[in-house]
């Protein structure tokens, strides 16, 4: 931990009321354990979500370097999912895997299932040798826990199978969305864009529209294309005007599919105009 990170801890911690974290900051291991169990909740009571996440990660890192191995129950997941650091996704995952492998060696793997799946999947040979049996076991454990990243990976694995497996994959994607991953809703929407598949899915039309709306709600512009398509193909009752407004909104946000579909509709309208 460098001096700037230590200074950042001091700055963020100064916003917390005394004596909430004083003993933990001073190095009391039992106080640190108590704080770690409820860290997110405790910090969010006094800080913005961004500051709370950042301080959580810095404290875990500091306490780990001071010798508190209990931090390994939390560090892998914090490393791989944190949004408050400029490192790219792959670098974050590599950091997470290093902590996860140490946690596993100490019998503390619970909570690091997805990171350990990644470690043994063969994608990071510089960190760990491939062990596909272990990778599959950890992936299934992460799926069982509802980790949205694992749900998406598992959905992608079975999506190319039978119709029954495809429908299961769709459910995994939707559950990933429900558990906090915008990608889950996006992948579900893309599957349901296939009208033939949609017709074979229970409540396929309403699920297509709802997943598209959720995709938009979670900031993915492609959702506008799919919702517009639902208005164009009759899924939500044909309404070209609403479809055009949705495509224009998606195009403003930079979605290429929306731009192309908007231009096609304009061309069609002009060709049919007197």
Question: Is the residue at 97 inside a domain?
Answer: yes
- Regarding whether 93 and 63 lie in a shared domain, the answer is no
* Cα angle 202-206-212, degrees, rounded to a multiple of 5: 120
What pTM, to 2 d.p., does this model score? 0.85
In contact, 104 and 120? CB cutoff 8 Å: no
Average pLDDT, the chain: 89
Show which of 145, 180, 201 is a domain's final residue. 145
- Return d(Cα 253, Cα 232) in angstroms, integer: 20
Question: Is the residue at 34 inside a domain?
Answer: yes
Question: Is the residue at 153 inside a domain?
Answer: no
- Helix ranges (H only) for 179-233 are 182-192, 195-198, 204-217, 222-232
- Return d(Cα 80, Cα 95) in angstroms, integer: 7
- Regarding whether 66 and 10 lie in a shared domain, the answer is yes
Question: Is the residue at 23 inside a domain?
Answer: yes
Domain total of the chain: 4
Question: Which has the closest alpha carbon to 152: 136, 171, 165?
Answer: 171
- Regarding whether 62 and 42 lie in a shared domain, the answer is yes
> 81-100: per-residue pLDDT in tens?
877 666 788 888 999 999 99
Question: Which has the closest alpha carbon to 64: 114, 20, 1?
Answer: 1
- Regarding whether 172 and 118 lie in a shared domain, the answer is no
The whole domain housing 86 covers 74-145
Question: Is the residue at 154 inside a domain?
Answer: no
In contact, 102 and 74? CB cutoff 8 Å: no
Question: Along the 274 residues of the chain, how does pLDDT read in single tens digits?
Answer: 788 888 888 888 777 775 657 778 777 888 888 888 877 777 778 888 888 888 888 889 999 999 999 999 999 988 888 776 667 888 889 999 999 999 999 999 888 999 999 999 999 999 999 999 999 999 999 999 999 999 999 999 999 999 999 999 999 999 999 999 999 999 999 999 999 999 999 999 999 999 999 999 999 999 999 999 999 887 887 888 999 999 999 999 999 999 999 998 888 766 665 5
Show which of 47, 70, 93 is a domain's final residue. 70
- Regarding whether 141 and 175 lie in a shared domain, the answer is no
- Regarding whether 203 and 265 lie in a shared domain, the answer is no
- Regarding whether 186 and 170 lie in a shared domain, the answer is yes
């Amino acid at each position: 931990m460098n001096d700037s990170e230590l200074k950042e801890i001091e700055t963020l911690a100064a916003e917390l009321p005394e004596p909430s974290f004083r003993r933990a900051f001073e190095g009391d291991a039992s106080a640190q354990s108590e704080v770690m169990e409820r860290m997110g909740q405790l910090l969010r009571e006094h800080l913005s979500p961004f500051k709370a996440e950042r301080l959580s990660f810095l404290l875990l890192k500091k306490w780990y370097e001071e010798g508190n191995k209990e931090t390994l129950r939390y560090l892998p997941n914090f490393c791989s999912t944190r949004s408050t650091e400029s490192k790219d996704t792959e670098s974050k995952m590599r950091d997470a895997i290093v902590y996860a492998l140490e946690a596993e060696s100490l019998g503390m793997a619970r909570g690091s299932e997805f990171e350990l799946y990644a470690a043994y999947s063969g994608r990071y040979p510089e960190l760990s040798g491939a062990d596909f049996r272990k990778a599959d076991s950890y992936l299934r454990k992460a799926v069982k826990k509802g980790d949205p990243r694992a749900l998406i990976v598992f959905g992608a694995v079975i999506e190319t199978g039978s119709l029954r497996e495809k429908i299961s994959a769709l459910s995994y994607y939707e559950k990933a969305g429900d558990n906090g991953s915008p990608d889950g809703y996006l992948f579900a929407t893309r599957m349901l864009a296939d009208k033939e598949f949609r017709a074979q899915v229970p409540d396929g039309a309403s699920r297509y529209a709802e997943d598209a709306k959720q995709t938009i709600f979670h900031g993915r512009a492609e959702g506008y294309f799919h919702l517009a398509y639902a208005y164009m193909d009759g899924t939500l009752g044909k309404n070209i005007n609403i479809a055009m407004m949705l495509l224009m909104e998606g195009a403003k946000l930079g979605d290429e599919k929306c731009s192309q579909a908007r231009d096609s509709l304009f061309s069609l309208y002009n060709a049919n105009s007197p």
